[in-house]
Amino acid sequence: MTATLIDGKAFAATVRGKVAEHVARLKNDHGITPGLAVVLVGEDPASQVYVRSKGKMTVEVGMHSYEYKLDAATEEADLLALIDKLNNDPEVHGILVQLPLPKHLDEDLVINSIDPAKDVDGFHISNVGLLGTGQKSMVPCTPLGCLMMLRDHHGSLSGMDAVVIGRSNIVGKPMAQLLLGDSCTVTIAHSRTKDLPDVVKRADIVVAAVGRPEMVPGDWIKPGATVIDVGINRIDAPEKGEGKTRLVGDCHFDSCAEVAGAITPVPGGVGPMTIACLLANTVTACCRANGLAEPE
């Protein structure tokens, strides 16, 4: 491996440490404890794992964690009533509705019913618009974590060629906005993109957010480029024993690491940064709600 490993796990621990310091100051100086409410509807196993780990880390940094686990058959009106209650609760500074929601619930309606000031996932249409127009907003956690790692590694990103593979509302599009905001020349690639290997080969920065195990091989990568692998894919791992699985990204790690200048691993890259940014966003929301200085 020739690439520098961008250690998201270690970086996330540093971010959480800063969040914990800020939370302690809010408590000591202002008697305020930031609170994060997480709403889970149904029993999707991956979502249950995410919600558990979000709750645990929220408490670890000294914040209040409020978890709402609702039945998969919950009616939309009941979910909206809960969100309304949380919107009006001064102890709750951040609200996250874990996605995906069961099919009978209108995801856009639900997300847009969250008070934008408490929308720590940054998915509310107001926050999307604010981000797109370069105004102060709540920034989606996964792309924010990617941007922080890129800035930390490169300093300025100005003028760099960036290719984002994937155009979802939760990763690809906001990632592209953030890179544009940092003056990259940005291309968004997707399933209809022609000559994807050639498009990727131009990039100084590749962000892969596709959901296809090891889709990007090393020979698509420009030598020295930085590869941020957002993908989390579980694949069979017969080498570990019968029925065993392992996590891989959207990039083929070993071949990409031979060519890239820097690369994030999966696991231990983007994933931990996502939760750290969620906690940071909650502190930011709490500071804004109370007219206090925001963390940097």
Kindly report the number of other CB atoms within 10 A of residue 53's CB atom.
13
- Binding segment for ligand NDP (CB under 6 A), chosen from 61-69, 108-116, 268-276, 279-287, is 268-276
Q: How far apart are CA 28 and CA 30, in angstroms?
A: 6
Between 199 and 292, CB nearer to ligand NDP = 199
Is 121 designated active site?
yes
Q: Report the residue from 33, 48, 168, 185 that binds ligand NDP according to the rule CB under 6 A.
A: 168
Backbone angles phi and psi of 108, in degrees to 5:
-60, -45
Regarding 233 and contact with ligand NDP (CB under 6 A), the answer is: yes
Nearest to 264, CA basis, from 276, 245, 288, 248: 248
Is 98 designated active site?
yes
Nearest to 181, CA basis, from 189, 193, 173, 192: 173
Regarding 94 and contact with ligand NDP (CB under 6 A), the answer is: no
- Binding segment for ligand NDP (CB under 6 A), chosen from 18-26, 27-35, 104-112, 207-215, is 207-215
- Binding segment for ligand NDP (CB under 6 A), chosen from 22-30, 72-80, 106-114, 204-212, is 204-212
Is 54 designated active site?
yes
Taking only Cα atoms into account, the Rg of the chain, rounded to an integer number of angstroms, comes to: 19
Between 26 and 150, CB nearer to ligand NDP = 150
Regarding 207 and contact with ligand NDP (CB under 6 A), the answer is: no
Per-residue string for binding with ligand NDP, 184-203, x by CB under 6 A? -----xxxxx--x-------
- Tell me whether residue 232 is annotated as binding: yes
Q: How far apart are CA 42 and CA 101, in angstroms?
A: 8
Regarding 177 and contact with ligand NDP (CB under 6 A), the answer is: no
Helix ranges (H only) for 7-166 are 8-30, 45-60, 76-87, 107-112, 125-132, 141-154
Query: What number of chain residues touch ligand NDP (CB under 6 A)?
Result: 25
- CB 209 → ligand NDP: shortest distance, Å? 4
Between 32 and 189, CB nearer to ligand NDP = 189
Q: How far apart are CA 157 and CA 147, in angstroms?
A: 10
Grouping H, G, I as helix, E, B as strand and the rest as coil, residue 278 is helix
Regarding 265 and contact with ligand NDP (CB under 6 A), the answer is: no
What is residue 95's DSSP assignment? E
Buried b (16+ CB within 10 A) or exposed e, 127-163: bbebbeeeeebbbbbbbbbbbbbbeebbeebeebbbb
Regarding 247 and contact with ligand NDP (CB under 6 A), the answer is: no
Q: Which residues are 206's β-sheet partners?
A: 163, 227
Regarding 148 and contact with ligand NDP (CB under 6 A), the answer is: no
Residues that bind ligand NDP (CB under 6 A): 142, 165-168, 170-172, 189-193, 196, 209-212, 230-233, 270-271, 274
Give the annotated binding-site residues: 166-168, 232
Give the annotated binding-site residues for NADP(+): 166-168, 232
Any idea which residues carry the catalytic annotation? 54, 98, 121
